[in-house]
Amino acid sequence: MRDDLVATGNRHVDEVRQINRDLIEKALQMRCLSYLAQVKARLLTETIFEVDNSKKSLLKINQDLELRTETVEAQRLQLEQQLAELSRVKEELQQTNLALEQKNRELERLNRLFVDREFRIKELRDRLAKYETKA
């Protein structure tokens, strides 16, 4: 009976040791899972902050781009207005130039007439002077 008690005691000690090993293994496993959960939580938190900062940065860049786009659009409209004004002024200058060329041609024609008239008058005076000296 003593042998049975010792064998039963040894069996119980072995079972307790096995249970302790299993419990220690489970405890270590739970610690590992807890550590992994903390690491995952930290990585997830960092990722969320990075994504949030990226969104804020992109939003700021987008706003800046929109502001620049509005500025460029305003400048484009202003340049289009200036171009239209320059085109109008160019057209006016061309019309004025044509009118001046016409007036210049008319003045040249009149100048030729007056010069020819003056030459004719001089010629007639010279003739008259010639006849007066003969008579």
Percent of the chain with pLDDT over 90: 79
Q: Output the average pLDDT for the chain.
A: 93
pLDDT digits (tens, 9 = 90+) for 60-88: 999 999 999 999 999 999 999 999 999 99
Which pLDDT score is estimated for 127? 87
Lookup: tokens for 65: 């781009």
**Does residue 6 sit in helix, strand or coil?**
helix
Which pLDDT score is estimated for 135? 64
Q: What is the mean pLDDT of residues 16-42?
A: 95
Chain length of the chain: 135
d(C-alpha 31, C-alpha 35), whole Å: 6
Which pLDDT score is estimated for 22? 93
pLDDT digits (tens, 9 = 90+) for 110-135: 999 999 899 999 998 988 888 888 76
Lookup: tokens for 6: 């010792």
